[in-house]
Copies of this chain bind each other. A is one copy, B any other.
């Protein structure tokens, strides 16, 4: 990225050889420049580069398009597609070279991929998919329409087709779908030398990249792993059994969130996947897990905000579909909570300042509840909150809620007294605030714990529940106390 393009001063008479070399260097410089131009300081595509692509597509300048695409990593081409309209996508991708196309396809977002795939011939696609590891290929095939899928699979070699079909047979978001079937396995009694020879000889069938060699027993059950770097530095006559390290096996039907948790906790680079009997059936590598961790925490953010993932390129219809249902639920709960206010209409008519104050009590309760909720959801995801410390956590939340409530009540009570010189009003407001903050702390911690206990995702639907509780409590505590004390 930071190599300077050193302005080459060319001496007068040049040999033909030297001329070629210099010409090549100049072309390389141009490439280098395009690469520098493509990505900004934040490693995102620059608007200038996207404009250049659009311009070249408008002029149908095939050579320029190829040049521009060649300057990009497949992941950046996939990003580029996200910034283009469907017409441009097709026009641009037509110029990607076949080797990159496989990578680009596997990097694309699902909704764009569906579009793009519809425009590729089945035979081309079958060939392109052969370049990918079985998990990535299965991912792409999964996005194909049924008849297109049949055609593509039919055009693939037997071995690849079976690998993809097996992968697709596992449930979505499980270890089986994440894993690649290509692994390097070696029997316990092999030496380092035998293993290295095997890798050199049978390279074709092995994964392109691998980080661990799994040592298996005669029933193909993993009994240990040897990191490639350890293999490399050990003497050829060392038995694998002597240098192997314990492995953490992943059950093939394990949820991907659990898999990600295990990788994160034990700092794994790769792990063997086993079927029910313990037989090795594939491996998961950490680069797939990075994506899962990312996805799962995004799901939590969105779930807490009450929106299901519509994808970056969702149209307005999908956006509405991902948001309106929660807004409808919220209309119901908000109305239910507000109906409490209806019960106190007489009091509000008598003392209309109440109408200004109860939204504040409800709002602060809502905020405090959201805080407890976010902390609890995060602790549950990290397995930091469980039966062992649930009671202690709730007790701490209650104390913090109480003390925060008292602090806020003192400040706001004093301000209200300065404004209205009415001790009763200050007291009612403060007391309602304390009650609501304690309830908020309790609800914020309890709701996700209970959802988790009954096997539900603690992030989904907890916000709407907690804010109903804090709205209701805020209105009821404040207006109820006001009715008792002030009127």
A residues within 8 Å of B by Cβ?
1-3, 42-45, 47, 50, 73, 75-76, 79, 82-83, 196, 199-200, 203, 206, 209-211, 227-233, 235, 249, 258, 261-269, 278, 286-287, 289-291, 293-294, 297-298, 300-302, 304-307, 310, 312, 315-316, 319-320, 323-324, 326-328, 330-331, 334-335, 337-339, 341-342, 345, 348-349, 352-353, 355-360, 362-364, 367-368, 370-371, 373-375, 377-379, 382-384, 386-389, 396-397, 399-400, 403-404, 407-408, 411-412, 467, 471, 475
Decide if B345 touches A403 in the complex (CB within 8 Å). no
Enumerate chain B residues within 8 angstroms of A412, measured Cβ to Cβ. Answer: 331, 335
Cβ–Cβ contact A262 & B349, under 8 A: no
B368 and A356 within 8 A (CB): no
Q: Write the nearest CB–CB distance from A400 to chain B, whole angstroms.
A: 4
Cβ A378 vs Cβ B266 within 8 A: no
Q: Which residue of B lies closest to A255 (CB)?
A: B42
Set of chain B residues within 8 Å of A266, measured between Cβ atoms: 73, 75
Using CB atoms, name the residue of chain B closest to A464. B367
| A interface secondary structure, majority | helix
User: Distance in Å from the Cβ of A87 to the closest Cβ of chain B?
Assistant: 15
Please indicate the chain B residues that have their CB under 8 angstroms from the CB of A407 in the complex.
Answer: 320, 324
A-B CB contact pairs (8 Å), 29 listed? A2-B278, A42-B383, A43-B262, A75-B266, A82-B384, A267-B287, A269-B286, A286-B290, A293-B293, A297-B300, A302-B374, A304-B304, A305-B373, A312-B384, A320-B404, A324-B408, A327-B408, A328-B408, A331-B412, A334-B359, A334-B360, A337-B363, A338-B357, A338-B359, A342-B356, A345-B356, A348-B348, A349-B352, A363-B467
Q: Are A341 and B359 in contact (CB under 8 A)?
A: yes
| Cα-based distance from A345 to B323 in the complex (angstroms) | 34
Which of A338, A355, A475 counts the most B-chain CB atoms under 10 A from its CB?
A355
Q: Is the CB of B298 within 8 A of A386?
A: no
The answer on a CB contact under 8 Å between B307 and A375 is: yes
| CB-nearest residue of chain B to A318 | B400
Write out the residue numbers on chain B whose beta carbons fall within 8 Å of the beta carbon of A233: 199-200, 203, 206
| A342, closest chain B residue (CB) | B356
The distance in angstroms between the C-alpha atoms of A355 and B356, with both chains bound, is: 9
A141 vs B328: C-alpha distance when bound (angstroms): 52
Beta-carbon contact of A287 and B286 below 8 Å: yes
Give the residue of B75, B379, B408 whose beta carbon is less than 8 angstroms from that of A331. Answer: B408
A249 touches B287 (CB 8 A): no
Rounded to whole Å, the gap between the CB of A367 and the closest CB of chain B is: 5
Q: CB distance A378 to B298 under 8 Å?
A: yes
| CB-CB under 8 A for A383 and B79, given A266-B73, A302-B375, A355-B341 | yes
Rounded to whole angstroms, the CA-CA distance of A79 and B262 in the bound complex is: 13
Contact A323 B368 (CB under 8 A): yes
Cβ contacts under 8 Å, A286 to chain B: 269, 286-287, 290
A241 CB → nearest B CB, Å: 16
Residues of B within 8 A of A83 (CB): 388-389
A265 touching B75, Cβ below 8 Å: yes
In the complex, A211 Cα to B232 Cα: how many Å? 11
**Does B364 lie within 8 Å of A331, measured CB to CB?**
yes
| Residues A229 and B211 in contact, CB atoms below 8 Å apart | yes
Chain B hits for A305, CB < 8 A: 304, 370-371, 373-375
On chain B, the residues within 8 Å of A387 by CB distance are: 47
Partner of A297, one of B203, B294, B319, B342: B294
Given contacts A229-B210, A269-B269, A407-B324, contact A356 B339 (CB under 8 A): yes
